[in-house]
Amino acid sequence: MVKGIDRVREYLEEITEAIPSTILIVGRGLEIVYANPHYYGVAGKKPKGVIGKNIWKVLPSGTIKRMDLNKKIRDVIETGRPFEGGHAPGDRLGTFYFYKVMPLMDEYGDVTRAMILVEDVTELTRLEEELKESYAKLDEAYKELREADRIKSDFISTASHGLRTPLTVISSYLELMDKGKIRGQEKRKGMTETLILQTNHMIGLVNDMLDISRMESKKFMVEKKEIDVQEIVNEVLEKVRNLADLKQHIVLLEIPDGLPKIVGDKKRIGDVLINLLTNAIRYTPEKGKITINAIDERKGLHFTVKDTGFGIPKREQKKVFEKFFVGSSAKKELGRMGLGLSIAKGIVEAHGGRIWVESKVGKGSTFHFTVPKEKRRKK
Amino acid sequence: MKNVLVVDDDENIQKMFKDILEVYKYRVIQANSGKEALKKYMEAKPDIVIMDILMPDVDGMRTTKKILKKDKNAKIIVVTAVGKSGLEKDCIKAGAKAFLMKPFKIDDLLNAIQKVSGGE
């Protein structure tokens, strides 16, 4: 029997010695009466400097204050109720401790001592922080996904609306023709022209959508060939000439001779210029002035398309390059899907250039973009 | 000959309605905004109104309500490319007598016009 109790004692001692947390037993006067080997290990102290000493003399005062340890020990001894646990940063930066204060009874059943259990939870706290961060990231990713989903649904509904309009015209005229309701060569010719125009409009819309979708999935590719600036500007001008004449605009070219060639995709850079010019023509009242300018800069060629049009309000200037954004002056016209400038931006950026706008309501807008130029040998 | 007021801000759609309706012997009055629609309705008192929904100044829904406020017997047919669910119900609730989606079959348009003006 005695032997058995001894065995249990032996185990208990072994267990207490092996616990990887600090255990201190403190008396009513805050004197330390016991410290386990783990404490000696981490504190680098010997029993001589610990046992019988006041906690203020042994433990770092910062720790005592942060844990409010002296008060908690007294409370626990007085009330006999344990302090169930709290967290406090340790003395070393970045460390965290979890601690408990428990009442200990003497052989008469009185609480005269308290046991302090301190566990290093630095690693756990770090993991918890990481988990919180991961949650935040997950939450952000979720929000981004929701936003992407919203953009996709908007895309589908805008695209469907954009395609329905020309499709309505096409379908109705074909039906009228099919019913044999169109009499006269003249009428038939007019309708055929409308059919071609609306079909081309639809082709344009479908191509724009494809471009946007390629740009979004980063599959948008551009050629990199040397292009003569005069040549590309003249070709583009040919294409918008009729539209500009219709509104009696003056189109001025300010392209100096001897500019270096630009390096890029001729068709795509042409698309950017056409887009900027058609916008300028469209959003400038009749008899306006549109100026195309190209400057040789260190990094590349800097193009500007300047108009004397309605201008873009400040709050809309940033948004004009977003897809599906249709500005307040553009809303008056239909068939606008709000893709033109966002495609232009995608093209310029695919070349490594930049696109931006300066504008004043009532004065006009200037669209700028840059594209890389040929590398000339040093003279 | 019945008068039809076509309210649509797209000139291609305007022209198309005119081409269709004239073939079937309707007289067409055109308005390219909600504001103009209200004015022309009061001036011409058309037998039928064909109303677009998405328009820049006053949209088709509000224009429908405004016209009905002036004339509770107005016969309005909404013809829209907006595919939002529940829109048809909302239009009927606002007082429209029929609802068609663009693109539509010409027969469906003619049927709607006939059905709506049938009461006379």
Closest by CA to A19, choosing from A44, A46, A53, A42, is A42
Averaged pLDDT for residues A68-75: 91
Among B16, B54, B101, select the one facing A173 at the smallest CB separation.
B16
| Stated pTM of the model | 0.65
Which residues in chain A have Cβ-Cβ distances shorter than 8 Å to B20? 172, 176
Structure confidence at residue B57 as a pLDDT band (50, 70, 90) = confident
B81: closest chain A residue by CA: A161
Full 3-state SS string of B59-81: CHHHHHHHHHHHCCCCCEEEEEC
Q: Which residues contact A75 (CB under 8 A, 6 or more apart)?
A: A81, A83
Q: Mind listing the pLDDT tens digit for each residue in A23-55?
A: 999 999 999 999 999 999 888 999 999 999 999
- Per-residue pLDDT tens digits for B59-117: 999 999 999 999 999 999 999 988 788 899 999 999 999 999 999 999 999 999 999 98
State residue A94's pLDDT score. Answer: 81
Q: Is the pLDDT of residue A378 over 70?
A: no
B105 with A332: Cβ contact below 8 A: no
A8-12, A109-113, A163-167, B24-28: which has the highest mean pLDDT? B24-28
**Distance of residue B16 Cα from the nearest chain A Cα, in angstroms:** 6
Instruction: Please give the full DSSP string across A222-278, using - where no structure is assigned.
Output: ---EEE-HHHHHHHHHHHHHHHHHHTT-EEEEE--TTPPPEEE-HHHHHHHHHHHHH
Q: Does the pLDDT of residue A330 top 70, yes or no?
A: no
Average pLDDT over residues A342-346: 94
ipTM reported for the complex, 2 dp: 0.92
Give me the pLDDT at residue A329, please: 64
Chain A residue with CA closest to B58: the answer is A332
Asked if residue A370 has pLDDT above 90, the reply is yes
pLDDT of residue A42: 87
* pLDDT of A333: 52
Closest chain A C-alpha to B15 CA, distance in angstroms:
9
DSSP per-residue codes, A35-64: E-HHHHHHHT--GGGTTTSBHHHHS-HHHH
pLDDT band with cut points at 50, 70 and 90 for residue B27: very high
What is the pLDDT, as a whole number, of residue A307?
Answer: 95
b/e per residue A241-254 (b: at least 16 CB within 10 A): eeebeeeebebeee
Is A161 in contact with B83 (Cβ distance < 8 A)? yes
Interatomic CA distance for residues A165 and B16, integer angstroms: 11
Helix (H, G, I), strand (E, B) or coil at A345: helix
Rounded CA-CA distance A257/A262 in Å is 14
Least confident stretch, A13-17, A35-39, A102-106: A13-17
Distance CA A128, CA A59 (A): 27
- Measured between beta carbons, the chain B residues lying within 8 angstroms of A168 are 13, 16, 81, 102-104
B chain contacts of residue A166, beta-carbon cutoff 8 Å: 12
Which residue pairs, CB below 8 angstroms and at least 24 apart, start in A125-129?
A: A125/A87, A125/A96
Distance from B10 to chain A by nearest Cα, in Å?
A: 6
Asked if B81's CB is within 8 angstroms of A198's CB, the reply is: no
Give the pairing type, strands A364-371 and A96-105.
Answer: unpaired
Identify all chain B residues contacting A175, using CB atoms and an 8 Å cutoff: 105-106
DSSP A368: E
pLDDT over 80 (residue B10): yes
What one-letter code names the amino acid at A22?
A: T
Mean pLDDT is lowest, of A369-378, B7-16, B20-29, for A369-378
Look at residues A252, A257, A199 and name the one whose alpha carbon lies nearest to residue A229. Answer: A257
Closest CB to A175 among B81, B82, B105 = B105
B-chain residue closest to A183, CA distance: B23
Across the interface, which of B23, B81, B105 has its CB nearest the CB of A164?
Answer: B81
CB nearest to A165's CB, from B10, B84, B106: B10
Chain A residues within 8 angstroms (CB to CB) of chain B: 157, 160-161, 164-173, 175-176, 179, 181-182, 191, 194, 198, 331-332, 334-335
CA distance A64 to A23: 15
- Neighboring chain A residues of B105 at a CB cutoff of 8 Å: 175
% residues pLDDT > 70 (chain A): 96
pLDDT-above-90 percentage for chain B: 82
Summarize pLDDT for A122-169 with one digit per residue, the tens: 888 889 889 999 999 999 999 999 988 887 887 788 888 889 989 999
pLDDT band of A109, cuts 50, 70, 90: confident
Residue whose token pair is 């029997």: A1
CB contact under 8 A, B10 and A331: no
- Tell me which chain A residues have a C-beta less than 8 angstroms from the C-beta of B56: 331-332
Number of residues written out for chain A: 379
A-chain residues near B19 (CB < 8 A): 172-173, 176, 191
**In the predicted model, what is the mean pLDDT of chain A?**
89
Per-residue pLDDT at A3: 62
Give residue ranges of B with CB < 8 Å to any A CB.
Answer: 9-10, 12-13, 15-16, 19-20, 23, 54, 56, 81-84, 101-106
